[in-house]
Amino acid sequence: MRSRQRMFATVMRLLLKCLRLGRRRRFKLVRQAEQLWHYGHLCLRSLLYNSFTNADVVLDSLFEPVYWLVDHVTRWFGVVFVALVIGLTSSIVAIVYICLLPLILQTYTPAWICWHLAYGHWNLIMIVFHYYMAITTSPGHPPQAKNDLTGVSICRKCIAPKPARTHHCSICNRCVLKMDHHCPWLNNCVGHYNHRYFFSFCLFMTMGCIYCSISGWEMFRDAYAAIERMKLLEKERLQVAANQTYYQTPPPTFSFRQRAFHKSVVYLWVLCSSVALALGALTLWHAALITRGETSIERHINRKERQRLQKKGKVFRNPYSYGSWDNWKVFLGVDVPRHWLTRVLLPSPHLPHGTGLSWDLPPCVTEQRAPLLAI
């Protein structure tokens, strides 16, 4: 009897010990899990901590996959976009020569005919010249070897010298001097050596589209009314054909040439008006940037720098801005008054000021300023 009691007591003690050990072990596991959680949270915060992190950085990080997709799609579709620009422009020119020019020669006065011929062909030459130069001219790239370059940083992607105002293009996979942006409609970067060609193409293309829209407004109204009349007559003709009797005759139909003429005029006006609005807004945007002496990328950088200095009670000044008028003279390469004719109003392949590696004061700038460090 006593032996049974002893065995029972021993078993009970063992059970109590196991319960105590299990409870201690469970508490120990919970404490270890909490410690691991706090340690991992601390490591993650220490790895991701950045005093410059803000909403823009978080948004850029979230959109990084979208940027990667756009970069790779743009790289492959650049040729398609260039072919689209050439095809649409050629179609407008063909419609003007085939459909509108004979009508102009028959109805307009000699003075208006001379004006349309002179302005239209000058605008077309300027568009073709600047677009060809924009897509074939290299924007400029920094040398791979450091050589005698002073005051340059190192590109984190190229691992090569990166002069002031130079940025890396993820589509071209190269650094570009004074990079503004990568234009898929050019299949090329817009940089130091072809920035003027790009802006001039946008400007003259907008002017040409506005010219076609204004000149063809009356023709567009007549063509649109004729198309609506064609639809109505076609409907009446089908109704007559369905209920035809011996004394009824179907209404007259338009010929294929008439249909093609009216639809071509409508196509021309709609396309030119749409391009004038979209490209005109882009041209005004770049004109404002040129007036301030900065590129699209520098505007973003300068805005952040301006906000940072403003918090410290300081004023930011763009070191590459020489005043509105001088900024335009530097951008267009106007050194003497006659250059406004030979270099702006006529096709000119002249090079921009400087090499894009250093930014000395151009000779056409009238106001001398003290040199500043590059931003």
Q: Which residue has the higher pLDDT, 245 or 32?
A: 32
pLDDT average, residue stretch 294-320: 89
Task: Supply the DSSP string of 123-180, one letter for each residue.
Answer: HHHHHHHHHHHHHHS------SS-TT--S-EE-TTT-SEE-TT-EEETTTTEEETT--
Q: Using an 8 Å Cβ cutoff, are 198 and 187 in contact? A: no
Task: Supply the DSSP string of 275-315, one letter for each residue.
Answer: HHHHHHHHHHHHHHHHHHT--HHHHHHHHHHHHHHHHTT--
Min mean pLDDT across 49-63, 175-189, 256-270 is at: 49-63
Query: Which sequence spans correspond to the domains of the chain?
Result: 61-241+253-356
Q: What is the pLDDT of residue 179?
A: 94
pLDDT average, residue stretch 301-312: 88
The pTM of this model reads 0.77
Q: What is the pLDDT of residue 374?
A: 38
Q: Using an 8 Å Cβ cutoff, are 205 and 279 in contact? A: yes
Query: What average pLDDT does the chain have?
Result: 83
pLDDT bin (cut points 50, 70, 90) of residue 370 is very low
pLDDT average, residue stretch 18-36: 67
Q: What is the pLDDT of residues 79-91, one digit of tens each?
A: 899 999 999 999 9
Q: What is the pLDDT of residues 310-343, one digit of tens each?
A: 888 888 888 889 989 999 999 999 999 999 999 9
Q: What is the pLDDT of residue 153?
A: 81
Q: What is the pLDDT of residue 78?
A: 85
Q: What is the pLDDT of residue 234?
A: 74
Q: Is the pLDDT of residue 49 over 50?
A: yes
Q: Is 169 one of the catalytic residues?
A: no
Q: What is the pLDDT of residues 120-177, one digit of tens each?
A: 999 999 999 999 999 999 999 988 766 656 657 888 888 888 888 999 988 888 899 9
pLDDT bin (cut points 50, 70, 90) of residue 19 is low
Q: What is the pLDDT of residue 16?
A: 61
Single out the catalytic residue among 175, 183, 202, 212.
183
Q: Which residue has the higher pLDDT, 19 or 63?
A: 63
Backbone angles phi, psi at 189, to 5 degrees: -80, 150
Distance CA 356, CA 166 (A): 8
